[in-house]
Amino acid sequence: MNALIHRFRPLGVLLLLVLLLVAPTVGLLDGYWSRTVMLIAILSLLVSGLNVVLGYAGELAMGQVALYAVGAYVAGYLGVEFGLTNVLVALVAAMLAAVVVGLITGIPGLRLGGWSLAMVTFFLVTLVPNLVDVFSDVTGGTLGMATAVPTLFGIEIVGDRLYWLVILVVIAWFTVARNLLLSRHGNMFLVLRQSPILASVLGVSVYRLKLLVYVVGAIPAALAGALFSMLDGFIAPDTFTFALALSVLAASVVGGATSVYGAIAGAAVMQLGQQTFTQFQTWQLVIYGAFLLIAGIAFNRGLVGLAQDGLAAARRRGWLPNRPATAAAPGGDEPVKTPLEPLDGVVLRTEGLSKSFGGNRALDDVTIEARPGEVTALIGPNGSGKTTLLNLICGLYKPSGGRLLLGDQQIGGQPTYRIARYGVARTFQTPLIPKDMSTLAFVATGRYMNHKVGILPAILRLPVFRRGYAADDERAMALLRLVGIADVAGKQVNSLALGTRRLVEVARSLASGARVFLFDEVGSGLDESDLAVLERAIGMIREAGGTVILVEHNFPLVLKLADRIHVLSQGKLLASGPPAHIQADRRVLAEYTGATDLPEEPDDAHAPATPKGAN
Amino acid sequence: MLSVTGVTGGYGDLRVLWDVEATVRPGRITVVLGRNGAGKTSLLSAVAGLLPTVSGGRIELDGQDLAGAPAHRRVRAGLALVQENKRVFRARTVEENLLLGGYTLGGFGLRGGARRAALEQAYERFPVLRQRRRALAGSLSGGQQQMLAIGQALMPGPKLLMLDEPSAGLAPSIVNEVLAMVAALRDQEGLSILLVEQRIEHALEIADDVAVMENGRIITAGPKSVFDDGAVIREVYLGRSGEELTTGNQ
Amino acid sequence: MTTVWAGLATGAIYSLIAIGYNVVLLASGTFNFAHAQLLMVGTFLAYTGAVTFGLPVLPTVLLAAAGVAVIALVEERVAIRPLLGRTDSHGTLITTVGAATVLDGLAAAIWGRQPLTVPSVLPDEPLTLLGGTVRPVDLALIGFTLVVGVGLHLWSRHTLTGLASLASAEDRDAASARGINVRLLGVGAFAVAGAVAGVFGLLVGARTYAVFDLGHSLALFGFVAIAIGGSGSQLGGLIGGFATGLVYAFAARYIGAAYPQIVVFGVFLLILFLRPRGLFGAALERRV
């Protein structure tokens, strides 16, 4: 029964769509309702575009209506002025125009984040009447313009044919949106929204990815505009009002901004509400506002979120059949034995690296070298500059002085995402873990920068997408096994305990195939068995030839793992050497424990006869 | 004085404190020891009312239960916290920082009444702050920022002072100075103190009572005399194997 | 010079919006999109007081101030407080737009969609000043805006509450560890911002009419003022507002009636692109 439902699900969806397409022809929908369906479909395009931006890039873009106008006027103008009534030409031209407008507003609007984009796009909506007025030769000014009858290869697209066109365009867009959002790219958008720092450490330029998402979100709005101009046959500026912008926003949050199909639900609620209740006009704004308030506060995942919660609850209580377990992790039960492929480690060197915050010199003239196939540990009391040094290496801070070299390349001062792409991976003292993502998918985001599947193959679900996806999953699974937590692969990553989160971060950093690994307090909060796994994993990275820099307070762990230890104190390098050397250094002990009664020893008196702990 | 019983808490869905018990006795210094990530800072945050989620337990200061009270009311009740990392208002001047420390003091005007007296006292305690009173706090050296942070916390005349790693990032000479001052606050002013400090030997020199944390729990606590200097503590910091490793060379 | 006066008078309104944004931003860390709507409600309350009830100036101003302050408090309670402590940051992006929309809708339902003329409290004969003409009521608007902007700037640096507001803007946790009731401060900021918006209802309404969708363009131009002045800087917002008003007035005078919005939009994009932290804002490095 269960399997039956799931096997025939795609077929069922297909049947429904066919039914929707033929509904007016076979008399299931009269003229009023087929127009209503088309209006809902068009509105859902606008809403879906906003969902992409709001739900996935976390930016509020109120300009869907302006892009809607752009699409309508571009399509209308081409038809009236050049006789280009072919709907395909109109749709493509509308998309291109949307990309141009998206870039013009997105490039400045996304520089700062927060409210900037919202205001820029909001401004764009209020400019529509002015621009229509300024370009009245082209747009017909406030009086509006009548559009030409749309055609496709000589056939007039009207009546049922227009209905089909609208539905097909909407199906096409939602397929694109679904395929894009339910892919590595969509996962990366989610990471981006929740933690820009994590996204940049994963090798993503936050600014460029946000711009990409924003421009993608502009496209359906322009398509909707073009379709609307065909549906109404007339374009006037009073269609593109701020109230419409608000209804799009309300539909987005009502449907659930982080869902693909929520847009349709939200659009239907708005459109039907508007048509059904005559009081709607008077109270329209109050209703939109109330929707925004309620959805923003109470159910911020929208109707779709409510439905999902309801389904999940029903499944838990056995009212509904459970989904078949997602194909069991490939070889999930095999014994844990995953040798790491060779890593292309590289020497990381700092030369006189310094960092000041105001009058506070957090790092002062530090020169260290971390070699491939070795574990280089940084120890020192809190506040001694260890994390500052890591932040400098991975580009979250800009150095105040000195050089930072990866091989022969000077990387100091470069943006984080670029340093990540050179092959520098890191974990965080407080693990950065996103919501709404499985552990496996999160570890696979570590592979994003070498993810070979572009956006287009993902949208088209080409074979290369399936192969790439499977390869990523397999790799991620192997890494989860390596750190001994394969059993949590299918769990939500933000439901894990602190210790497990650290191991997930290690797996995530390994997934990138990095050359240099920065582990920040990766052992803290781990219990004995987790620590053993961690030790083994770090040992493997070393054997595979990776360069490991370890910041750690757990002294025994450091002694066991490190090939070379650098001791920092108040931002300066206090001592460097192999573990045995450091262990015997009384200044280090004093630094750690605060002992002052120990006599100072000359520097060369340290080499103990039997170095213990090294290697 | 301060008694914490059965406090559990954390950050959102992440738990970091489990059923924690701790006490500070009047006029004494309790030192909390433990590795990084053991939950020491979270304990201080929970007492100060800054830990996002605290479920259950009591936090009593002189018999008054503060567990449900917001952070600012706990300050009025006599708790003062010096947060780690010399967390002063970096964009404000030294004097503004101190005045903000006296926010809960009554009196008319910014520099009026009790606040003026407390400011004067702070300057007497830390003369260097008087010299730099108009400088932005962010431009001070690390040691000066730490003095400012402590001076700020002392402004309202608290009953209990909590210090989170006051020695972090400071030069050894200044560390001694800071910890000596902490001891003086107890000896001369009778202040009760809860100290989180990683420089064990320094901390033990001035401690009266010791509590050891591990994985979000207090695993052992009592007067300092109970602890054989070193053994337990070394175990906490260096681990069982660490004990054997460090003694291996001596 | 007449254009300059017109620009300054319009700019004063933008400055007021920017000041209102900043008051709330500094004390509670929230960007209150609905602030322009508060000023819109202020103009309607001024109309109700002066025309419907026929009250003298002072009671009208008090009525508007108290009324808008109460509305601002309700907004804080409904749209802001439930989201405090949430990690997902774009909640207030939605709820403050929602609050603004509800206010728009209620104003339209209560007072209608037609603009209402708010009487000018001062004589209508224009004065000739520095070679240009200006209505006394506009002059008063400019003057009072300057007083409020500079006054708030000084207040934030020379009173305990003002300092506490700056401190909590910098580090909320550290501020509450010093005994500052951060939440109350935020609520107070809403009340103050609302009261200021109400007080100016009469003067602003005399210039713009009372109309339900006044808030839209004011929100935008107020934000442009913030973009120019740098967020969180009262003096920056004051200057930014006047600058925006001048750009608007000159574009309208010398390019054409359809253009001032477009020109201001161009300036806005340029500033975001070239100096995203505002002309007076300093680049701050985030600490991780």
Lowest-pLDDT range, A32-46, A89-103, A269-283, B87-101?
Answer: A269-283
Any domain includes C288: no
- On whether any CB of chain A is under 8 Å from the CB of B136, the answer is yes
Give a yes or no: residue C274 inside a domain.
Answer: no
Is the minimum CB–CB distance between B50 and chain C shorter than 8 Å? yes
Confidence band, pLDDT 50/70/90 cuts, at residue A325: very low
Query: What pLDDT score was predicted for residue A583?
Result: 80
The answer to whether C84 contacts chain B (CB < 8 Å) is: no
Task: Report how far residue A31's alpha carbon sits from residue A34's, in angstroms, rounded to the nearest whole number.
Answer: 5
pLDDT of B68: 86
Report the mean per-residue pLDDT for chain A: 83
Q: How far apart are CA B146 and CA B142, in angstroms?
A: 6
Residue C170 to residue B91, Cβ atoms within 8 A = yes
Q: Tell me what pLDDT residue C284 has.
A: 39
Lookup result for tokens 């010079």: C1
Mean local confidence (pLDDT), A217-240: 92
B111/C contact by beta carbon, under 8 A = no
- Please check whether residue C263 touches A, CB under 8 A: no
Average pLDDT over residues A492-518: 88
Cβ-Cβ pairs closer than 8 A, A with B, add up to 107
B29-34 sheet: strands from edge to edge:
B79-82, B160-164, B192-196, B29-34, B209-214, B217-223
* Nearest neighbour of B37 by CB, restricted to A357, A359, A524: A524
> Is the four-CA dihedral C140, C142, C147, C151 of positive or negative sign?
positive
Residue A505, pLDDT above cutoff 80: yes
The answer to whether residue A380 scores a pLDDT higher than 60 is yes
B87 contacts in C (CB within 8 Å)? 171, 174
Rounded to a whole number of angstroms, the distance between the first and last alpha carbons of chain B is: 42
pLDDT: which is higher, A21 or A207:
A207
Residue C57: domain span: 2-214
H or E element that contains C89: none
Residue A348 structure tokens: 């990381």
| Single-letter amino acid code for the residue at A392 | L
CA angle A200, A203, A204 (to 5 degrees): 60
pLDDT at A4: 59
Q: What is the pLDDT of residue A600?
A: 40
* Amino acid type, B12: G
Subunit contact A494:B167, Cβ cutoff 8 A: no
Please state the pTM of the whole predicted model. Answer: 0.84
Chain C residues in contact with A283 (beta carbon < 8 A) = 105, 109
Q: In order along chain C (288 residues), what is the average pLDDT of each group of 10 residues?
A: 91 95 87 94 95 92 96 93 71 88 93 89 81 88 95 91 90 91 92 95 90 90 90 88 95 88 91 76 40
Confidence of residue A614 (pLDDT cuts 50, 70, 90): very low
Among C167, C177, C180, whose Cβ lies nearest the Cβ of B50? C177
Asked whether residue A168 carries a pLDDT value surpassing 80, the answer given is yes
Contact C31 A111 (CB under 8 A): no
**Residue A175 identity:** T
Q: What pLDDT, on a 0 to 100 scale, did the predictor assign at position A339? A: 66
By the CB < 8 Å criterion, does B92 face chain C?
A: yes
Name every chain C residue with its beta carbon within 8 A of the beta carbon of A113: none
pLDDT of residue C122: 80
Beta strand pairing call for A145-146 and B79-82: unpaired
Say if B81 is an interface residue toward chain C (CB within 8 Å). Answer: yes
For residue A392, give the chain C residue with the closest CA: C288
The size of the B-C interface in CB pairs under 8 A is 68
CB proximity under 8 Å: C 239-258 to A: 258
| Interchain CB contact of A430 with C (< 8 Å) | no
- Which pLDDT tens digit goes with each residue over B155-172? 999 999 999 988 877 776
Question: What is the model's pLDDT at position C282?
Answer: 44
Asked whether the predicted pLDDT for residue A368 surpasses 90, the reply is yes
Q: How far is CA C25 from CA A113, A119, C181, in A?
A: 16, 16, 16
Answer yes or no: is C103 within a domain. Answer: yes
Q: Answer yes or no: do C262 and A108 touch at CB < 8 A.
A: no
From the candidates B105, B110, B154, which should be mutated to test the interface with C, based on the most C CB atoms within 10 A?
Answer: B110
Domain annotation covers residue C238: no
d(CA A163, CA A171): 12
Residues of C in contact with B156 (CB under 8 A): 179
Shortest CB distance from B238 goes to which of A362, A555, A584? A555
Are the beta carbons of A126 and C261 closer than 8 angstroms?
A: yes
Chain A neighbors (3+ CB pairs < 8 Å): B, C
Does A118 touch chain C if contact means CB atoms closer than 8 Å?
A: yes
CB atoms A360 and B136 under 8 Å = no
The predicted pLDDT at position A335 comes to 41
**Choices 3.30.1340.30, 3.40.50.1980, 3.40.50.300, 3.60.70.12: CATH for B2-78+158-247:** 3.40.50.300
Measured between beta carbons, which residues in chain C are less than 8 angstroms from residue B72?
176, 179-182
**What's the average pLDDT block by block, 10 residues per block, for chain B (250 residues)?**
89 83 93 83 92 88 90 94 88 94 83 88 92 89 88 94 85 80 92 88 88 87 77 58 36
Q: Does the CA dihedral C54-C60-C64-C66 come out positive or negative?
A: negative
Which chain B residue lies closest to A555 (C-alpha atoms)? B238
Alpha carbon of C58 to those of C43, C49, C72, C121, C281: distances in Å? 15, 10, 21, 10, 38
Whole-number percent of chain A with pLDDT over 90: 30
To test the contact with chain A by mutation, choose from B13, B31, B165, B243 the residue with the greatest count of A C-beta atoms within 10 A, namely: B13
- Strand B29-34 and strand B209-214: the pairing is parallel
- DSSP state, residue C130: T
φ, ψ of residue A533 in degrees (nearest 5): -65, -45
Query: Which chain A residues in 169-208 lie under 8 Å from chain C, judged by CB atoms?
Result: 194, 197
Q: Which residue of C has its CA nearest to B71?
A: C176
Domain-located, residue C285? no
Interface contact A300, partner C, CB < 8 A? yes
Count of domains for chain C: 1
Residue C127, min C-alpha distance to chain A (Å): 32
Asked if C105 and A295 come within 8 Å (Cβ–Cβ), the reply is: no
Is the Cβ pair C183, B89 closer than 8 Å?
no
Across the interface, do B50 and C180 touch by the CB < 8 Å criterion? no
Q: Where are the domains of chain B?
A: 2-78+158-247, 88-157
A334 close to A311: Cβ distance less than 8 angstroms: no
| Diameter over CA atoms, chain A | 98
The full DSSP string for B104-154 is TS--SSTT-HHHHHHHHHHHHH-HHHHHTTTSBGGGS-HHHHHHHHHHHHH
Give the pLDDT score at A490. Answer: 87
Q: How many C-beta neighbours within 10 Å does residue A22 have? A: 15
Give the closest-approach CA distance of A48 to chain B in angstroms: 31
Task: Using an 8 Å CB-CB cutoff, list chain C residues near B110.
Answer: 158-160, 163
DSSP annotation of C80: I
Model pLDDT, residue A592: 62
Q: How far is CA A181 from CA A177, A459, A607, in A?
A: 6, 9, 58
pLDDT of residue A318: 66
Among chain A residues, the shortest Cα distance to B135 is held by A359
- Inter-chain touch A112–C272, beta carbons under 8 Å: yes
B11: contact with C, CB 8 A cutoff:
no
Chain A CB contacts of B139 under 8 Å are 358-359
User: Which ipTM was obtained for this model?
Assistant: 0.87
Contact B104 C164 (CB under 8 A): no
More confident residue, A571 or A555: A571
Are A262 and A51 in contact, with CB atoms under 8 Å apart? Answer: yes
Contact partners, residue A500, CB within 8 Å, separation at least 6: A485, A488, A530
pLDDT at B237: 59
Determine whether the interchain pair A360/B85 forms a contact, defined as Cβ–Cβ distance below 8 Å.
no
- Between the alpha carbon of residue B241 and those of residues A379, A558, B228, the distances in Å are 18, 12, 18
Do the Cβ atoms of C94 and A249 come within 8 Å?
A: yes
The pLDDT score that the predictor gives to residue A264 is 92
